[in-house]
Structure 1
Amino acid sequence: KTTKIQKRNGIGYVYQVIGKSYKKDKKYTVENRKLIGKMIDEEWMIPNEYFEQYYPDVCVEQETPEFSDTLRIGCFLVVQKIFRDLQIEDVLLSIFGDLGFFIEDIVSYMITNESCTLCTFQYYSNFMRNHPVMDKNIRDDTQISRLLKYNIKEQDINLFLRAWNQMNNTKECIYVGYDSTNFNTNAYGIELADYGHPKVDEGLPQYNLAYAVNQKDSTPLFYELYDGSVIDNTELEIMLEEAKEFGHEKLGVLMDRGYIS
């Protein structure tokens, strides 16, 4: 009786009403809600980690979703072979343990689904029902969110980049295609967001992304995020220092004419 169901994109999300607050400027009362799960039909729901806080005495039945009798294995086999041939799987498992398999499944899903936007993760469990998974469990979008928010730390990303560049470092002179771009953002809580000189000025704070790709075979090597007020030339200086830390002593950098000006 103290819950509300709100539908978005055809999916019913269950909210626990935890109180009410009066908006003086609007002169009306609004409910304070907490998401506790989502509906799977007209009667049953899948609870999230907050459900137990409000209903500690309710017995939650947790069953692993069943796989389909027919599995589509083509894309899975290709992605699995690429991960193993490039030794990415070994690096992921050494850094993240069994979560490395979960990360591999997410990448397989994004490649096969041809999308890397967060909104498509809500279809992950349905998609994986008829595709093989390395993780051996069908997870949902809330578990993907927790993985990205809590389980992948900045030091883990740096460990992966170091290992990846050591594996792709021939000790010979390599030419790197280098570029940077910026992203305008309305989101709160992004520490890197700051006002700078964006390519498309929307009057919003931005953060910057710089990346380096091996010019010979298009292998991505490393990337870095920067404060929105950092200019391109300064980013380049920092990236060159990072390249040395990754073991690239002989490096030729190819970039557009914007860096000269």
Structure 2
Amino acid sequence: MYLKSRVKIPDVHGKLIRLRRGDITYIKYEYDRYYNPEKKYTYPQRATIGKVCADDDTMMIPNEAFLKYFPDAVLSDMEDRTERSSCLRVGTYAAIHKIVSNYSLDKMLGQFFSKRDMALLLDLASYFIVEESNVAQHYPDYAYNHPLYSSGMKIYSDASVSDFFKSITKDKSTGFLNEWNAKRNRRERIYISYDSTNKNCQAGEIELAEFGHAKADIGSAIINYSVGYDLKNKEPLFYEAYPGSINDVSQLRAMLGRITGYGYKKIGFILDRGYFSRGNIRYLDECGYSFVIMAKGTSSFISDLILENKGTFENKRSCDMNAYGVYGKTVQKTLFEGDEKKRYIHIYHSISKDADERESFENALRERTALLMSHQNETVEFGSAYEKYFYLHYDKDGVFLYPEEKTTVTEREISLCGYFV
């Protein structure tokens, strides 16, 4: 909650940064640093302590966190601002309100939340969409100059927002998702785009936070999060949060069970390469679902298939995918040993992707060569990323002499640039 005061921006060299979001510049204070011994990197820990005054960039309006880190600071009073801005930004509210009305979201949410909580939830959802942020401390600033669903357009503090999120139980979330999916038409065929990601979590005592395969590994536990989306009707269907240690392959089966529980029958799936595995493909067959799945280009079967068909379609106008800027070819083959039916395997080549991937690969190769050469005549060991592309020559005492490029490996990788399956 921001205080009705002004204060000189503290002069603490190297501890403050300014972060601009829209018309407001926030002041963040670095109160600690976290050193990750595995990454050998230090991560700053920061908190928002206020926002810069619009009429004086040397002054700031502090929040309650400011008093925690600067308890002896002298605050100057300022005139009370009106409860709401004299000019409200109504455009996005009108668009969001139309969606809420068309889908009867307020009535649906009203089955699981009190009138007050339902209105606050819609206000927060609008805030997340409009500001592209979920920082609770910034919500009062959004609420000051935007229309709200809350009774009397009341502006709730960031502490109230935090308390509200704590009050949302699993039963309420599940109940809403069940009701939402009950309204969908189960007779028509739909194509569900399903993907997941993960978020680093440094907070303690969160049951879902576990160590797993993070996309941006900073050495902390992670929470996995996935979304199912109906591509045909352009509607989200459900979301899931699950422990960080569970991988994409394991989660797919749980998701398919959930879809069945919602009553969907005529379904096709569009899946990312993270779900490409023999087990998942067999399970999709057993359930009778059709699917389109991005193949992992690093698998030997896929790279062999690309090289087998290389040169047979890339320059043929009949294979031009027109609006997509790629050339394509479809072949029928079994995917793996023991596969009981032939699959339609679509091979694509992009000229722009070819150029970008080749440039990136050759730059990386040059950088690795330069690094290896900088360690000549030293006793040093290199990781698998170097051994994949180079023969590393040492003398009898273990002193590194010189690298020799594995041209058969690098030329094969270059020949695969621009292709995807």
> Does 1:171 find its partner at 2:205?
no
Q: Which runs of 4+ in 1 moved over 4 A?
A: none
Aligned counterpart, 1:57? none
Aligned counterpart, 1:129? 144
Structure 2 CA distance for partners of 1:14 and 1:139, relative to 1, 3 Å: closer
Structure 2 CA distance for partners of 1:67 and 1:13, relative to 1, 3 Å: closer
> Does 1:97 find its partner at 2:114?
yes
State how 1:107-256 maps to structure 2 within 5 Å. 107-113=125-131, 115-118=132-135, 121-135=136-150, 136=152, 137-150=154-167, 152-256=168-272
Q: Shift of residue 80 of structure 1?
A: 0.9
Secondary structure, counterpart of 1:252 in structure 2: strand
- Rounded Cα–Cα distance in structure 2 between residues aligned with 1:107 and 1:175: 26
- Rounded Cα–Cα distance in structure 2 between residues aligned with 1:123 and 1:229: 32
Letter aligned with residue 162 of structure 2: S
Higher relative contact order (CA 8 A, sep 6+): 1
- Whether contact under 8 Å (2:210, 2:244) holds in the other structure is yes
Rg (Cα) greater in structure: 2
Letter aligned with residue 129 of structure 1: Y
Q: Shift of residue 134 of structure 1?
A: 1.5
- Rounded Cα–Cα distance in structure 1 between residues aligned with 2:273 and 2:206: 30
Letter aligned with residue 229 of structure 1: S
- Whether contact under 8 Å (2:186, 2:266) holds in the other structure is no
Q: Deviations over 1:206-238 (max 9, x none)?
A: 221122111213311111111122121210000
Q: Shift of residue 158 of structure 1?
A: 0.5
- Whether contact under 8 Å (1:84, 1:90) holds in the other structure is no
Query: Could you say what the CA RMSD is over the residues aligned between the two structures, in angstroms?
Result: 3.0
Q: Deviations over 1:120-176 (max 9, x none)?
A: x333333323322221222221111111112x1111010111111112233322110
Secondary structure, counterpart of 1:223 in structure 2: strand
- Whether contact under 8 Å (1:195, 1:204) holds in the other structure is yes
- Rounded Cα–Cα distance in structure 1 between residues aligned with 2:215 and 2:228: 20
Aligned positions, number: 214
Aligned counterpart, 1:56? none
Structure 2 CA distance for partners of 1:69 and 1:171, relative to 1, 3 Å: same
Aligned counterpart, 1:42? 76
- Rounded Cα–Cα distance in structure 2 between residues aligned with 1:234 and 1:117: 29
- Rounded Cα–Cα distance in structure 2 between residues aligned with 1:232 and 1:12: 43
Aligned counterpart, 2:85? 68
- Rounded Cα–Cα distance in structure 1 between residues aligned with 2:236 and 2:148: 25
Which 5+ residue runs of structure 2 have no aligned equivalent? 1-6, 11-28, 30-48, 51-59, 69-74, 278-421
- Whether contact under 8 Å (2:196, 2:224) holds in the other structure is yes
Instruction: Identify the range of structure 1 (138-147 vs 123-132) with the bigger mean alpha-carbon deviation.
Output: 123-132
- Whether contact under 8 Å (1:105, 1:133) holds in the other structure is yes
Q: Shift of residue 77 of structure 1?
A: 1.5
- Rounded Cα–Cα distance in structure 2 between residues aligned with 1:87 and 1:66: 30
- Rounded Cα–Cα distance in structure 2 between residues aligned with 1:160 and 1:43: 45
- Rounded Cα–Cα distance in structure 2 between residues aligned with 1:94 and 1:172: 27
TM-score when normalising by structure 2:
0.46
- Rounded Cα–Cα distance in structure 2 between residues aligned with 1:199 and 1:73: 37
Which 5+ residue runs of structure 1 have no aligned equivalent? 18-32, 34-40, 45-64
Q: Deviations over 1:176-224 (max 9, x none)?
A: 0111222232221121122223344443322211221112133111111
Structure 2 CA distance for partners of 1:128 and 1:210, relative to 1, 3 Å: closer
Aligned counterpart, 2:46? none
- Rounded Cα–Cα distance in structure 1 between residues aligned with 2:63 and 2:245: 39
Q: Shift of residue 11 of structure 1?
A: 4.6
